[in-house]
Amino acid sequence: MPEAPRPVAGEAGTEAAPAYRGAVIIEWPPRCPYAMSGCAVEIFDAATGKPFTTVMATGITVRTDADANLSADLVMFAGQDGEPLFGGEPELDGDAWKQLGTGVFSFLVSEMRVREPAQRRKP
Protein backbone atom coordinates (compact mmCIF):
# COMPACT_ATOMS: atom_id res chain seq x y z
CA MET A 1 0.00 0.00 0.00
CA PRO A 2 1.49 3.39 -0.92
CA GLU A 3 2.32 5.79 1.90
CA ALA A 4 0.01 8.76 2.29
CA PRO A 5 1.72 12.06 1.48
CA ARG A 6 2.94 13.95 4.51
CA PRO A 7 1.81 17.53 5.00
CA VAL A 8 4.45 20.19 4.46
CA ALA A 9 4.91 22.75 7.23
CA GLY A 10 3.23 25.95 6.23
CA GLU A 11 0.54 24.35 4.05
CA ALA A 12 -3.05 25.10 4.91
CA GLY A 13 -4.08 23.18 8.01
CA THR A 14 -0.54 22.44 9.18
CA GLU A 15 1.69 24.07 11.73
CA ALA A 16 5.29 25.04 11.13
CA ALA A 17 7.92 23.11 13.08
CA PRO A 18 8.71 24.75 16.42
CA ALA A 19 11.76 26.97 16.71
CA TYR A 20 13.97 25.13 19.18
CA ARG A 21 15.65 27.32 21.80
CA GLY A 22 18.56 24.94 22.31
CA ALA A 23 19.08 21.52 23.86
CA VAL A 24 18.37 20.35 27.39
CA ILE A 25 19.14 17.50 29.74
CA ILE A 26 16.22 16.20 31.80
CA GLU A 27 17.14 14.69 35.15
CA TRP A 28 14.49 12.57 36.83
CA PRO A 29 14.50 11.90 40.59
CA PRO A 30 15.62 8.48 41.85
CA ARG A 31 13.08 5.69 41.70
CA CYS A 32 10.65 5.81 44.56
CA PRO A 33 7.86 3.48 45.71
CA TYR A 34 5.19 6.17 45.27
CA ALA A 35 4.23 8.66 42.58
CA MET A 36 6.99 10.89 41.22
CA SER A 37 6.69 14.58 42.03
CA GLY A 38 7.15 17.03 39.16
CA CYS A 39 9.02 19.45 41.40
CA ALA A 40 11.84 16.92 41.69
CA VAL A 41 12.58 16.97 37.92
CA GLU A 42 15.52 19.19 36.97
CA ILE A 43 16.32 20.73 33.60
CA PHE A 44 19.89 21.57 32.55
CA ASP A 45 21.32 23.42 29.57
CA ALA A 46 23.02 20.71 27.48
CA ALA A 47 25.73 23.10 26.27
CA THR A 48 26.80 24.50 29.65
CA GLY A 49 25.51 21.95 32.17
CA LYS A 50 23.95 24.77 34.18
CA PRO A 51 20.43 24.27 35.57
CA PHE A 52 17.48 26.24 34.22
CA THR A 53 16.01 27.84 37.32
CA THR A 54 13.14 29.47 35.46
CA VAL A 55 11.30 26.30 34.33
CA MET A 56 8.01 25.65 36.07
CA ALA A 57 7.80 22.05 37.30
CA THR A 58 4.14 21.87 36.34
CA GLY A 59 4.90 22.62 32.70
CA ILE A 60 7.25 20.01 31.23
CA THR A 61 5.96 18.05 28.24
CA VAL A 62 8.26 15.55 26.53
CA ARG A 63 7.37 14.62 22.95
CA THR A 64 8.71 12.05 20.55
CA ASP A 65 7.77 10.53 17.25
CA ALA A 66 9.30 7.54 15.52
CA ASP A 67 10.70 9.74 12.74
CA ALA A 68 11.56 12.84 14.75
CA ASN A 69 13.86 14.05 17.51
CA LEU A 70 12.92 13.91 21.17
CA SER A 71 11.83 17.37 22.26
CA ALA A 72 10.48 19.05 25.36
CA ASP A 73 8.05 21.93 25.66
CA LEU A 74 8.93 23.84 28.82
CA VAL A 75 6.78 26.41 30.60
CA MET A 76 9.28 29.08 31.59
CA PHE A 77 9.26 32.59 32.93
CA ALA A 78 9.49 35.10 30.10
CA GLY A 79 10.63 38.70 30.01
CA GLN A 80 8.61 41.64 28.73
CA ASP A 81 9.91 40.88 25.22
CA GLY A 82 8.32 37.42 25.38
CA GLU A 83 11.69 35.66 25.27
CA PRO A 84 12.50 32.99 27.88
CA LEU A 85 14.53 33.83 30.96
CA PHE A 86 17.27 31.21 31.23
CA GLY A 87 18.88 31.79 34.57
CA GLY A 88 18.77 33.46 37.91
CA GLU A 89 15.60 34.33 39.69
CA PRO A 90 13.03 36.70 38.22
CA GLU A 91 13.11 40.02 40.07
CA LEU A 92 9.84 40.58 41.87
CA ASP A 93 10.46 44.00 43.46
CA GLY A 94 7.44 46.24 43.84
CA ASP A 95 4.93 45.69 41.04
CA ALA A 96 7.43 43.95 38.73
CA TRP A 97 5.71 40.61 39.35
CA LYS A 98 2.62 41.94 37.53
CA GLN A 99 4.64 42.20 34.31
CA LEU A 100 6.33 38.83 34.65
CA GLY A 101 4.88 36.37 32.19
CA THR A 102 5.34 32.80 31.17
CA GLY A 103 5.57 31.09 27.82
CA VAL A 104 5.94 27.64 26.32
CA PHE A 105 9.30 27.14 24.61
CA SER A 106 10.51 24.08 22.69
CA PHE A 107 13.92 22.48 23.22
CA LEU A 108 15.63 19.42 21.80
CA VAL A 109 16.41 16.78 24.43
CA SER A 110 20.02 15.63 24.27
CA GLU A 111 19.96 13.42 27.38
CA MET A 112 17.60 12.03 29.98
CA ARG A 113 19.01 10.54 33.14
CA VAL A 114 18.00 9.42 36.62
CA ARG A 115 19.59 11.21 39.56
CA GLU A 116 21.62 9.01 41.88
CA PRO A 117 19.90 8.36 45.21
CA ALA A 118 21.31 10.36 48.10
CA GLN A 119 23.89 8.50 50.11
CA ARG A 120 22.76 7.66 53.61
CA ARG A 121 24.83 9.22 56.33
CA LYS A 122 26.27 6.98 58.99
CA PRO A 123 25.04 7.80 62.52
Which residues share a beta bridge with 60? 74
**pLDDT (mean) for 112-120:** 76
Helix (H, G, I), strand (E, B) or coil at 83: coil
User: DSSP string of 27-67?
Assistant: EEPPP-SSPPPGGG-EEEETTT--B-SSEEEEEEEEE--TT
* Average pLDDT over all residues of the chain: 75
In this prediction, residue 2 carries a pLDDT of: 42
DSSP H or E segment with residue 109: strand 101-114
- The residue among 65 and 27 whose pLDDT is bigger is 27
Rounded to whole angstroms, the Cα distance separating 5 from 99 reads 45
- The residue among 80 and 22 whose pLDDT is bigger is 22
> pLDDT, tens digit, for every residue of 50-108?
988 888 766 888 888 777 789 999 988 887 788 888 776 656 666 666 667 888 999 99
